[in-house]
Amino acid sequence: MLEEAPLVQGGLTFNGITEKISGIVETRTPSLWWLLFGMALSGTLVLAGSIGWLFYDGTGVWGLNNPVGWGWAIVNFVFWVGIGHAGTLISAILFLLRQRWRTAINRFAEAMTIVAVICAGIFPAIHVGRIWIVYYMFPVPNQMEMWPNFRSPLLWDVFAVGTYFTVSFLFWYVGLVPDLATFRDRAKTKIKRLVFGAMSLGWRGGNRQWKHYELSYLMLAGLATPLVLSVHSVVSTDFATSMIPGWHTTIFPPYFVAGAIFSGFGMVLTLAIIARKVFSLQNLITVDHLEKMNKIILVTGSMVGYAYIMEFFIAWYSGNIFEVFAFINRGFGNYAWAYWIMFLCNVITPQLFWFRKFRRSIPIMFTLSIFVNIGMWFERFVITVTSLSRDFLPSSWDYYSPTTWDVLTFVGSFGLFFSLFLLFLRFLPLISMTEVKGVTPEADPHHYAHGNEHGGAK
């Protein structure tokens, strides 16, 4: 029988795991961190500056034109929300499926989710034009007795993404509590003791606490699972409920969800490969973990590829000339370059992961994960822009290109993403110590039953 490789390698004991993960934040801040954080913070300033200019001068600073009223803002929104989905898939769905390998990567994937959703949330907020009445998005009682339109998918988005952020944050924080208690108990200075003491809420690790904690965590996973599938489905209805050719299709919800998971795993992989190298976590995030993620990328990438091809088939099968035109235009029209970048990065290159050698090669998977990130941004660009720029009558067509401010806002959002993520890496446990200890063979009380008491990992 094939035996699965151990999840934690290198014979780490419980204490060894604590030392390894806590050590990352207890040592002096590496100068590499300061360098990266400085770069990321500059990016955040670029974001703040370009948003400031947008508020001052209006949405005219963007490249929007008459048929293309939705440009990079929605593209970036969908891109960032999609990235978040991998974190919830890892933390909730793989938890329900009892995939114990998730423990090595769930904490920072969840952090990535939260940070990505923050980046995503900026775009719908700033794109409204009259920013001072942005609160109209929420059902706030007001003196005009006006209410938002509950039949609009854009309002569904507000609720879906708001709930998604809140639930992801709670899920992440509940998971952090026992690890924060570890930090509290290891704290050397009074400030750390106070801060981690307050953040760990008085956790004592008694089974009378664990019993409620475990069920609560399971319930959160159960709630987050349908939620994550619904969020990107709701995002897809922003497009699918409209009458624009190329948008008005029923395949959108599942296709968006698969794409979201695909793009998110791309980003998790990019971050995981860098983090395990920088912090020497090869024993905890093993090549087996990375290989499993590559398999998910292969599966979801192929699902996305199926959707791309099926869209063409349905366009032809529908017999609707506008629909047929929209897709021929996508593949061979004025945005064909974007379509083929998307197709290459999302469908063709991930096929290399059929081969075990490529699935286990760090340089190959790092390159491919970058390709996935690029490809999935272009997917949203292709969907949004090709359909709008050539809709029904040629008289209303126009070509859309972004301005410097579009580019700076997007680049700046990466600055914010990495700033927050680097702060997380520096101050919080980036791998769940509790859960990793829990999946070692020594954590099983029956491991010791038959005179098997030799301590340390097998």
232-251 residues in contact with another protein (CB under 8 A) are 234, 237
User: Are the CB atoms for 355 and 402 separated by under 8 Å?
Assistant: no
Q: Which of 230, 318, 320, 403 binds another protein (CB under 8 A)?
A: 230
* Euclidean distance between CA atoms 234 and 224, whole angstroms: 15
Q: Smallest distance, Å, CB 132 to another protein? A: 22
Of 17-56, which residues contact another protein (CB under 8 A)? 18
* Euclidean distance between CA atoms 7 and 284, whole angstroms: 7
Q: Which of 215, 309, 321, 411 binds another protein (CB under 8 A)?
A: 215
| Residue (171 or 371) nearer to another protein, CB | 171
Of 89-148, which residues contact another protein (CB under 8 A)? 139, 145-147
The CB density around residue 203, as the number of other CB atoms within 10 Å, is 18
Residues in Cβ contact with 303 at an 8 Å cutoff, skipping those fewer than 6 apart: 255, 258, 262
Q: Which of 186, 192, 295, 426 binds another protein (CB under 8 A)?
A: 186
Q: Which of 3, 206, 319, 395 binds another protein (CB under 8 A)?
A: 206
| Residue (242 or 396) nearer to another protein, CB | 242
| Residue (10 or 202) nearer to another protein, CB | 202
Of 418-447, which residues contact another protein (CB under 8 A)? 433-435, 437-438, 442-447
| Residue (220 or 422) nearer to another protein, CB | 220
Q: What DSSP letter does each residue of 311-334 carry, written as one string?
A: HHHHHHHHT-HHHHHHHHHHHHST
Task: Count residues binding another protein (CB under 8 A).
Answer: 71
| Residue (140 or 321) nearer to another protein, CB | 140
Q: Which of 98, 190, 208, 454 binds another protein (CB under 8 A)?
A: 208
- Burial per residue of 428-454, b for 16 or more beta-carbon CB atoms within 10 angstroms, e otherwise: bbbbbbbbbbebbebeeeeeeeeeeee
Of 347-386, which residues contact another protein (CB under 8 A)? none
* Euclidean distance between CA atoms 194 and 184, whole angstroms: 8
* Euclidean distance between CA atoms 131 and 154, whole angstroms: 16
The CB density around residue 191, as the number of other CB atoms within 10 Å, is 9
User: Are the CB atoms for 130 and 109 separated by under 8 Å?
Assistant: no
Q: Smallest distance, Å, CB 289 to another protein? A: 19
Cα angle for residues 244, 378, 398 (degrees, 5° grid): 45
| Residue (347 or 428) nearer to another protein, CB | 428
CA 65 → CA 71, 77, 385, distances in Å?
9, 19, 11
Q: Which of 114, 122, 227, 290 binds another protein (CB under 8 A)?
A: 227
Does 197 sit near another protein (CB under 8 A)?
A: yes
| Residue (93 or 290) nearer to another protein, CB | 93
What's the chain's Rg over C-alpha atoms? 24
Of 147-176, which residues contact another protein (CB under 8 A)? 147, 149-152, 155-156, 159-160, 162-163, 166-167, 170-171, 173-174
| Residue (18 or 389) nearer to another protein, CB | 18
Q: Smallest distance, Å, CB 91 to another protein? A: 13
| Residue (447 or 458) nearer to another protein, CB | 447
246 burial type by CB count under 10 A (0-12 exposed, 13-18 middle, 19+ buried): buried
Q: Smallest distance, Å, CB 177 to another protein? A: 8
